[in-house]
Structure formats: structure tokens, C-alpha cells
Structure 1
Amino acid sequence: MKKLTYLFMAFLLVFLAACSSNETTSKEENETKKEEKKKEQGVEVDKGLLNVELTIPASMFEGENVDTVISEAKAEGIDVTKNEDGSLKYKISKSQHKKMMEEMEKGIKESLEEMVNGEEFVSLQEITYNDSFSEFTVLVDKAAYENSFDGFALLGLGISGMMYQYYNGTNADDVKVKVITKDQETQEVIGEVVYPDALEETETEAE
């Protein structure tokens, strides 16, 4: 079960790496590139009556011995097969998938707590969210927030929300995460960011 949980972090890293690409392409090529990226990097989730199938792209296993990955999964009682394109198909029970999602949910909540109570992002006062992690509201000390780099924390919220939705079976085209930033004292909306749109805009600007 731990191996599947680690795949969440692997996918996050692959996603960030893909979004940092700076190759120069035309607008038409960019659109084609984005579609190919979704197919190559997307986690496919097929929920059956008794089992859930997760298809993890080969790009997630770069630098790893795939045979070892398969052996470790089988040792945990997980049915896994290697596809012709190098991707791995995991077949797990609904209870295993439920446990994985619960662990992912727990991890996200613990990260949010650390953001608010830790020393790294001092302007963040409170973070609330909905059940699907598709919307976050961040209350901040406005003066401290505007004089810091705490806005980088919003990226973490966007990525976490997207990953949760991907692994929960949300269609890739429907995955959206809205992050609203408000001044805690006045409740004034300071900013609103929607992911993955913001990542795609950043990538386009870089190109």
C-alpha cells in the first residue's frame, strides 16, 4: 500500500517537471503538446464493481527498476501488469483504493496544518477546503503576505488538489482547483488562481 502512496509524490514531481519545459513552439504546437502530455502523464482510473484499475505512465518510473517496482507491488498483494508502452496497470480492491485515498487525504490535511502552524509561511492564518479539494480559501495577514514569498504556497495547494482528483477518478479535462486568497481582517479577496490553467499560462510565458 505504501508503494501506491509514493506514486502520488512521483506523479507530482513529473507534473512539475513537465510544467517547467521552455521549448519554443507555435500556439498550434503548444495545443498538440498539451494533449500529448495529458495522454502520456495522466493516471487512468477505471472503477469496476469490485476492483479499481490504475494505469500509471512509464514516465513515472524513470530512474527506477520497473521489475523491482512490480515485485514490490506483488509482494504487497497487488496485481500489476506491464503494458506494451511501458506503463503499469495496477488492479487493486475497492477497499485498497479507498485506503489509498484516505491516506492521500490525511497527507494533504497534515500539509495544510503545517503551512498554517509552521514557520515557513508566516502570513498564512487559516486554510479551508471542500471535500474534493477542488477549492481552497486561504486567509492571510495581508501586510505580511504582500511583503513575502508566501504566495508560492498556493502552488502546493493547487498541485495537491489536482493529484487527489486524478487518483480519485476525475476525468483529466474536469480537474480544476480554485485557490482564493483573502485578507483575514477585512475578508477582502486579494487574489484567485485556478489550476491547471495557471500552470499552462506560466508554461506558455516561459516559451
Structure 2
Amino acid sequence: MKRYTYILFVLMIAFVAGCSSEKQANQNKEKEDKTNEQVDVDKGLLSVKLTLPASMFEGQDIDQVIADAKNEGIEVTKNQDGSLTYKMSKAQHKKMMKEMKENIVKNVEETKNSKDYASIKDITYNDDISEFTVEVDKAAYENSMDGFVALGLGMSGMMYQLFNGVDPNHYKVTIYIKDQASQKVFDQIVYPDALKEKSNQQ
């Protein structure tokens, strides 16, 4: 199952790229395109169906993606629009979500301890990965590129919620940037709103 979870995180990167391309496309088709980009999760009594849009598989060997999932005991159906529908037991889905969360936590710990982000002193999060609080040395943070950490946290949180069945029209991840010395929040970033705002500025 760990290999399958890794595949999902690779798909997350493709999802980010897909969102960026979509928002630079024809604005008149934005609503329709957004619908096509959604991850659809159907939680039944005994199983979970997860449909991923075709855009998440661009540049990948689709047959290999299907084979990898089937090797994990997961049923896969290729749809006419290029999307893939994964059918798994609730136990498999629960295990997948657990491993996704463990990967997010691992990445958070690595970021906190990395010398590459000297201004970041601590990162905490809530149970459903919808909120992160990043404690920083404010002066050092504002004079660095460490703010990019928020993007990674936001995308991880959004993908976690999507795969967990949160409504694609209502999911969000809030990043609070807090000054460690004063314990005051001086910035707040909300995803996916921040992605839309950035796109509109381009």
C-alpha cells in the first residue's frame, strides 16, 4: 500500500500543474474545466470509489499506473474521458489515508528540522490536516523565501481532504504564520483561494 500512497503524492504534483494550466486557459470555460478536474470520492457501505481526472495522469504510463494499483489489490476502471476509477475496501481506504497522513507528518518534521528553512521554528496541524500553524522568526521569515513552505503545506492538506471525500466545492486549508517571539499571527493564507488570487494577478 505504501507504493500506492507514493503514487498518489506523485499525482498531487500533477494536480498542481494541472490547476495552474487550467487557470491560465479560457476563462469562459473555467467552471466546466474545474468540474472536470475534481477528484470524486464515493463512500459506500463496504467500499470506496475514487475517481481521478485524466489530467492527473498526463505524462505517465497509464497501463503501469493501473498495474501498480491492481498489484495492491485495488480494482481500477479506465473511463471514456481518460479518468480512472479506483474501487477499494473501506479498510484499504482507511489505510491509504493513514499512510498519506504519515507522509505529510514526515514532511512537516523534515521541514521543521531543515537548515534550508532557517526562519521556521515549528509547524503544528489539526487532525484533519485542514489547518497548519507555522511559527517563525518574523524578521528572518520576511527576508527569506521560506514562505514557499506554505504552498507545500496547502497542497498536501487539500489533496488529503479530496482523497478523504471532502466536497471539492467546499474544501480549504488555512495556513497561519505566527511570530514565535510574540505568539501573534501576522499572516494567514487560505487554499485554494490563494491559488486563484495568484492566477488572477498573472
Same fold (TM over 0.5): yes
- Which residue is 1:166 aligned to? 162
Distance in 2 (CA, whole Å) between partners of 1:112 and 1:42 is 26
Residue 69 of structure 1 corresponds to 65
Matches within 5 A, 1:1-207: 1-21=1-21, 23=24, 25=26, 29=28, 32-33=29-30, 35-206=31-202
Q: Where does structure 1 differ by over 4 angstroms across 4 or more consecutive aligned residues?
A: none
Q: Is the 8 A contact 1:158 1:178 kept in 2?
A: yes
Structure 1 residues 20 and 90: CA distance shift in structure 2, 3 A: closer
Question: Contact conserved, 2:14 with 2:57, CA < 8 A, in 1?
Answer: no
Mark the CA change 1:189 to 1:50 in structure 2 (over 3 Å): closer, same or farther.
same
| AA aligned opposite 2:83 | S
Query: 1:112-162 CA deviation, whole Å, 9 max, x = no partner?
Result: 111111111111111111111111111101111111111110111111110
Q: Report the alpha carbon displacement of residue 75 of structure 1 after superposing the two structures with TM.
A: 2.6
**TM-score, structure 1 normalization:** 0.90
Gaps of 5+ in 1: none
What RMSD in Å do the two structures reach over aligned CA positions? 1.7
User: Which secondary structure state, in structure 1, belongs to the residue aligned with residue 183 of structure 2?
Assistant: coil
1:11-35 CA-to-partner distances (Å, cap 9, x unmatched) read 3222321343374756xx2xx41x2
SS of 2:107's partner is helix
CA contact (8 A) 2:41 2:163 kept: yes
Scaled by the length of structure 2, what TM-score is found? 0.92
Alpha-carbon separation, structure 1, partners of 2:140 and 2:42: 45
The answer to whether the 8 A contact 1:10-1:60 is kept is no
Query: 2:115 is paired with a residue of what secondary structure?
Result: coil
SS in structure 2 of the partner of residue 173 of structure 1? coil
- Aligned residue-pair number: 201
Q: Contact 1:177–1:195 (CA<8 Å) still a contact in 2?
A: yes
Q: Which has the higher contact order (CA 8 A, sep 6+)?
A: 1
